[in-house]
Structure 1
């Protein structure tokens, strides 16, 4: 086939798993991610077609392949379709180990593995070679290539608990498919089912030896199984813009490592980068935002960033920044900075504050970063508590991004002293935090910030599995309790849900603790039977009584602390 040719055809499964096709899952591909529902659905659909439409073709989905012209045999990198292809690879091993007829066993085995023949100079070769980062080769040799490997259920069960995503899902797929076909074997001859999928089930494939064309096809076509995410297509666009295979391998691995680190939050991380570059509210999905507002594919001269190497380098740089100042891996950060970032991550309902601090660090490093974070947090918290709309709060963060761009390193004070940029309505803010805060979205955050402000910053706050808000004066004290003596009904109405009466505990709320009198509660807090936060604990320890006078003094101190007076 001449170089540059795009080949498209439909092929039955036995042809796909024949001498005409040898597959490579390249480094930049995702792990094997099909889970129980995906595998069951495929098996059930196939079996329904086999029993109800045995003479009709059954469409399996599409394969997008890059033909390797350097290979001496028909070898292809799989750009799209690896999840379904891998599942059939596993399914054939399961069926081989269940069927009793030796000739049928051998036929199926040849579909997944070519035995070495020294005399005919035929090398041993797997139908699918995996170069993905999960290092699945040993697993495949032990459980798929090895005859009767799929019968080793006890060993496979252990892999179901593996931290390695591919191995966990492959082991699960073997067990699920084996259970499914063992049950079917009681009613039908599995050889007839294999005959059906070999001859009636088919893929449509598209292949080319041109990398750019291959990745362009990848963005257009989609596997029926796991839908491509915006990040998947964004990756493919940038892979396709690279100059050579060495760059593809290098940057695909970088992308995979970053994606693996962020997991389900990877699109969120890419949104941070989008926000830093565009500095405006996102109006469409992530992919369109990058294509229309960053790459300007329709008007390349306006581009803020080039596809390919430049994009990978920028994403890698901001990943490092995220690790250093959001994951707090930079050892030169102060504990004051670490504590404030920690409580913001725990208590903020929105993460729109993250792009400005990342952008600041990218431009100015650690220079006055503590001061900038305090200004940023005060603005973000003030607008949130005062009920400013999410759109207006986001616009305020984008204005800070623009101000960072317009500030040079020699004049950071001009940015930090910009009162208009960080202005909040302090009258409204004071009014809201003086009022009943229990049940408000920002209640827990205000208490976390108080903990942060009252800490001595010798260590940084982290590691809390549960953080809940507890009333000291109960919401409904018992009629015969000391609380009824210390507070009349009007005083209880005034103080029950205010900041002064609320503390944080680092475990799930304890209903049995709720109505205890102060002396009993105090004893439990101080003995660590209930892990109250440090600043709360100190205040409780220093007070013998919890009454209106105590709360009035505490309320004034906490409000002034949050206002910054």
Structure 2
């Protein structure tokens, strides 16, 4: 292995693809995600550079394609840390258009794309390139001979990822979840089987970049929205929370647990004069599903295995509540009351529901949804428009933060009592005509409530009895 830590140089792309050592993609790499729009952008750049008045210019200067970062293993093999999107797109282009000596037929490279997302994009892009006709197609060999990379090779893994964390692939900005995935897979160095398992699961769960929403709107807010010093998330804050603030343990395979509803030995006891106190143990799951992992949303997170299992749990809970819709009464509530409601309120509603579920599971879940809506609805009725700061105002303006209250309460009823006491009592006394035009957002919210509580057919047009409606609904649906 080269003892020099970093090697930097320029290289023609055609020579780069003739590297004679093994070049691979590590499991922690995100999938190949370029689409036809990205390819067209690249091809248009080539045409603008290599053609004058639609005629190929043999004297065109070299075209710089940016930097490629490689990590050199102890055996001399190389891993692509940064540049996968461009490298892959060039290889597909070469394979589809080049009629002579395709790079992939020279048996120098054997890239393996393990993600289903990568496989789908590879197939789709190959078909697109094969079928499309552009001026550069007839000159692709000449163009490849004038493409240049800056190649950075390091044998220090820490330095490799310092570079990786500070760079983006051409045209595709890395999101926080891309950094989180690579960071925590690095913690599993030497455990390739675990890296592959968690990388595949992560990519599957991240369809449509869903994990960005999970971390932004649920996990980060759920952990950081404490007390009254509240702000919205941003990239560095997310990385600080889920990278720097995670814990490294000596035994990576063992994840520490903390007391919560999902790992309680017993939830009740009985007392009789003959036997005294008898503790009734909870059912013990020896093979637990993801939504039942014994984690709490605000607990310390362990690097590597602990982080990935933590993420899987809250992905699974979100799916149960809002995708699989496992609880029909709650689903009807959410679909009816939050149809057309402000994005900020819908996001906070989902966060609070997941936070509650994390503490009490599905115990009185629909009841909590009703009282939570009673709180949010009081602001919806009062304000003509809901902005980002409205949600923070709801949490800050009271003696206690609602999320903190949920975390501290022992019974669901204590949470309901807190909400009923802080809700603006006069908000629901407003007449319909005070809520703006018929097509306005406040009138729409009024209509959602009348539909949910089946009051429209009775000629009801106001929400002044909403608290009574909630109590009636709870009693009738026990």
TM class by shorter chain equals 0.7 to 0.9
Q: Secondary structure at the match of 1:559?
A: coil
Q: Is the 8 A contact 1:219 1:236 kept in 2?
A: no
Q: Secondary structure at the match of 2:206?
A: helix
1:439-485 CA distances to partner (integer Å, 9 max, x unpaired)?
Answer: 3223334323332222xxxxxxxxxxxxxxxxxxxxxxxxxxxxxxx
What does residue 18 of structure 1 align with? Answer: 18
What does residue 358 of structure 1 align with? Answer: 354
What does residue 468 of structure 2 align with? Answer: 564
- How far apart are the structure 1 equivalents of 2:92 and 2:415? 59
- The 1:203–1:218 alpha-carbon spacing in structure 2 relative to 1, beyond 3 Å, is same
2:128 aligned with 1:172, yes or no? yes
- The 1:166–1:348 alpha-carbon spacing in structure 2 relative to 1, beyond 3 Å, is farther
What does residue 425 of structure 1 align with? Answer: 424
Q: Is the 8 A contact 2:247 2:302 kept in 1?
A: no
- How far apart are the structure 2 equivalents of 1:439 and 1:12? 62
- The 1:125–1:389 alpha-carbon spacing in structure 2 relative to 1, beyond 3 Å, is closer
What does residue 203 of structure 1 align with? Answer: 149
Q: Is the 8 A contact 1:215 1:240 kept in 2?
A: no
What pairs up with 1:57-72 in 2 under 5 angstroms? 57-69=62-74
Q: Is the 8 A contact 1:26 1:130 kept in 2?
A: no
- The 1:168–1:208 alpha-carbon spacing in structure 2 relative to 1, beyond 3 Å, is same
- The 1:83–1:292 alpha-carbon spacing in structure 2 relative to 1, beyond 3 Å, is closer
What pairs up with 1:258-297 in 2 under 5 angstroms? 258-260=205-207, 263-271=208-216, 272-279=218-225, 281-283=230-232, 285=234, 287-293=235-241, 295-296=243-244
Report deviation, 1:379.
0.7
Report deviation, 1:82.
1.6
TM-score (norm: length of structure 2): 0.73
- How far apart are the structure 1 equivalents of 2:299 and 2:408? 19
Gaps of 5+ in 1: 98-104, 115-123, 137-163, 455-534, 540-552
What does residue 171 of structure 2 align with? Answer: 225
- How far apart are the structure 2 equivalents of 1:561 and 1:169? 58
Report deviation, 1:180.
0.5
Q: Secondary structure at the match of 2:188?
A: coil
- The 1:88–1:22 alpha-carbon spacing in structure 2 relative to 1, beyond 3 Å, is farther
Q: 1:112 aligns with which of 84, 104, 107?
A: 104
Q: Secondary structure at the match of 1:32?
A: coil
Q: 2:185 aligns with which of 229, 239, 254?
A: 239
What does residue 197 of structure 2 align with? Answer: 250
What does residue 96 of structure 1 align with? Answer: 98
Q: Secondary structure at the match of 2:348?
A: coil
Q: Is the 8 A contact 2:13 2:149 kept in 1?
A: yes
- How far apart are the structure 2 equivalents of 1:337 and 1:298? 34
- How far apart are the structure 1 equivalents of 2:306 and 2:117? 27
Q: Is the 8 A contact 1:24 1:131 kept in 2?
A: no
TM-score (norm: length of structure 1): 0.63
2:127 aligned with 1:129, yes or no? no
Tell which has more relative contact order, 1 or 2 (C-alpha 8 A, sep 6+).
2
Q: Is the 8 A contact 1:386 1:425 kept in 2?
A: no
Larger of the two Rg values belongs to structure: 1
Aligned residue pair count: 401
- How far apart are the structure 1 equivalents of 2:167 and 2:91? 22
